[in-house]
Amino acid sequence: MKRAIIIGATSGIGQEVAKCLLLEGWQIGIAGRLWKWS
C-alpha cells in the first residue's frame, strides 16, 4: 500500500489531493487547521 503525508489538507489543493489519493487506495496522513471537511 502506498502512503503519503499531506500538509494543508483543510482546503484547496491539499484537500483535493487527499481525496484523490484516498479514492486510489492510498493510506494518508493529513495536517490542517480543521478536522471537518466541507
Instruction: Report the alpha-carbon distance of residue 18 to residue 3 in Å, rounded.
Output: 11
Output the pLDDT for position 1.
Answer: 84
Given a contact cutoff of 8 angstroms between Cβ atoms, the answer to whether 28 and 22 are in contact is: yes
Question: How many domains does the chain fold into?
Answer: 1
CA distance 38 to 5: 20
* Domain region containing 21: 1-38
- Can you give the pTM of this predicted structure? 0.73
* pLDDT, position 35: 63
pLDDT digits (tens, 9 = 90+) for 1-38: 899 999 988 888 999 999 999 999 999 998 887 666 65
